[in-house]
């Protein structure tokens, strides 16, 4: 007798995509233009993944994409702030010696 791989059972008809996952992804994409939205995307992404595991809804890929994009944009924003701060400190340091 041949054994076939087991697949997860199909979702029940009422289990659609988790709305919080879509909101999280939308906030993370919005964070490209408005940096603080990345924090909302990360928080909503974590909440969505918890709800998806608890309720068996779909949308885990949306929530995971929101988390990856949100964390990436937060890191890029922090790196940009550090670079900008370094440039400003260097500029004021040079100006202090020339006056």
What does 29-79 look like in DSSP terms, one character per residue?
HHTTTSTTHHHHHHHHHHHHHHHHHHH--B-HHHHHHHHHHHHHHHHHHHH
Query: What whole-number distance in Å separates Cα of residue 35 and Cα of residue 84?
Result: 15
Query: 42 with 67: CB under 8 angstroms?
Result: yes
pTM: 0.76
Q: Binning pLDDT at 50, 70 and 90, where does residue 1 land?
A: low
What is the rounded average pLDDT of the residues 74-95?
88
> Of the ranges 9-13, 18-22, 95-99, which one carries the lowest mean pLDDT score?
9-13
User: Is the pLDDT at 2 greater than 80, yes or no?
Assistant: no
| pLDDT tens profile 24-82 | 999 999 999 999 999 999 999 999 999 999 998 999 999 999 999 999 999 999 999 99
């Amino acid at each position: 007798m041949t054994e076939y791989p087991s697949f997860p059972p199909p979702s029940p008809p009422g289990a659609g995509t988790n709305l919080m996952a879509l909101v999280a992804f939308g906030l993370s994409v919005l964070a490209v233009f408005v940096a603080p939205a990345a924090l909302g995307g990360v928080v909503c992404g974590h909440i969505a993944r918890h709800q998806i595991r608890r309720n068996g809804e779909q949308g885990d890929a949306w929530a995971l994409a929101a988390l990856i994009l949100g964390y990436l944009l937060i890191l890029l924003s922090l790196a940009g702030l550090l670079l900008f701060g370094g440039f400003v400190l260097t500029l004021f340091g040079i100006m202090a010696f020339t006056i």
